[in-house]
Amino acid sequence: MPALDESVVIPKDLLKDLYIGLVKVEEVLATLEELFDKEGLQRIKKAEKEYKEGEYITVHDSSEIKELIE
């Protein structure tokens, strides 16, 4: 166990804010990673085109997805 002079007290609100900030940074990094991936970017462009043209299927639960891929 650390000695008292080696520990710090962090208020819960600050810790929560730090956690939320870290989650947002991770989301930005994941987005940047996808944008720098040429294949990923092509998938995004294809998906946007399909969406605009109405080439998609809406499902209400996961069982419908299983039926579609079988």
Q: What is the pTM of this model?
A: 0.49
Rounded CA-CA distance 65/58 in Å is 9
- In tens, the pLDDT along 3-56 reads 667 888 899 999 999 999 999 999 999 989 988 889 988 988 999 999 999 998
For the cut 70, the answer to whether the pLDDT of residue 2 exceeds it is no
- Radius of gyration, CA atoms only, the chain: 22
Angle between the N-to-C axes of helices 12-36 and 38-52, in degrees from 0 to 180, rounded to the nearest 10: 90
DSSP state, residue 54: T
Q: Which residues contact 57 (CB under 8 A, 6 or more apart)?
A: 68
